[in-house]
Amino acid sequence: MLVDSHCHLDKLDYEQLHTGIDDVLAKAKARGIDYCLSVGVTLDSFPTMMEMIEPHDNVFASCGVHPLDIEAGFDYDKLKEYAQHERVVAIGETGLDYHYQPELAEQQKEIFRQHVRLAVELNKPLIIHTRLAREDTLQILREEGAEKCGGVLHCFTESLEMAQAAIELGFYISISGIVTFNKASELKNVVNQLPLERLLVETDSPYLAPIPYRGKQNQPAYVREVAEYIGLLKGVSVEEVERVTTDNFFTLFSRAKRS
């Protein structure tokens, strides 16, 4: 059993690659992926995403505004309303991205703080996106008491020191298909040094398909390649990676229930 702990099911190709979400989930099930967390990135798209996943008890949801989507609109009251939906098990995707939009750093930081405050209030874990913003990300998490709700640094590509600092705050580190890339030597080293008990696996579908699918659109079924590669790196069986990362998922996202 595996969990794709971070995917964007509403962004997959349903015209040429998949006939619908049932098809996506069937392909994942055929490879032993029994659960998915569909992650929201804008408030406008959240209702459509929820309508899509509603019939599927094995798909959970998060609600948030991605730091690269803040110009699409941010409404705290609407975020809070959506975040209290019973299927929403986490707050995010939120965080900081200074790679693509450093000019919006101050606005990103304020909106990030509001996400963290809401997560603490609702006691729902955070899903964090961080890129070229290590110090500010950790500072805001500490200042806003994020250790009270916990969370995950998703699609992790940062330093070992940042991962360890996040773990000290009670966070998990989620590994995507990037770990399979030939040039991802730093990330491979990070994965080697972190305990499996603090790792999650994800696809970030439809982005970042792992080898041997690199260049194609990603999908939840491909999280198996991520798990297998982590097993090779750490010298453990894929079954061990499956067991531990699945337990980690349901420990962190405690409102997500195994069926």
Asked if residue 6 belongs to a known ligand binding site, the reply is: yes
Asked if residue 154 belongs to a known ligand binding site, the reply is: yes
Q: How far is CA 254 from CA 8, 93, 125, 139, 194, in A?
A: 20, 17, 9, 25, 22
Do the Cβ atoms of 195 and 186 come closer than 8 Å? no
Distance CA 174, CA 3 (A): 11
Asked if residue 18 belongs to a known ligand binding site, the reply is: no
Distance CA 150, CA 230 (A): 23
Asked if residue 129 belongs to a known ligand binding site, the reply is: yes
Do the Cβ atoms of 179 and 156 come closer than 8 Å? no
Distance CA 163, CA 47 (A): 33
Asked if residue 56 belongs to a known ligand binding site, the reply is: no
Give Cα 76 distance to the centre of its chain: 21
Asked if residue 115 belongs to a known ligand binding site, the reply is: no
Distance CA 136, CA 230 (A): 29
Q: Which residues are annotated as a binding site for a divalent metal cation?
A: 6, 8, 93, 129, 154, 204
Q: Which residues are annotated as a binding site?
A: 6, 8, 93, 129, 154, 204
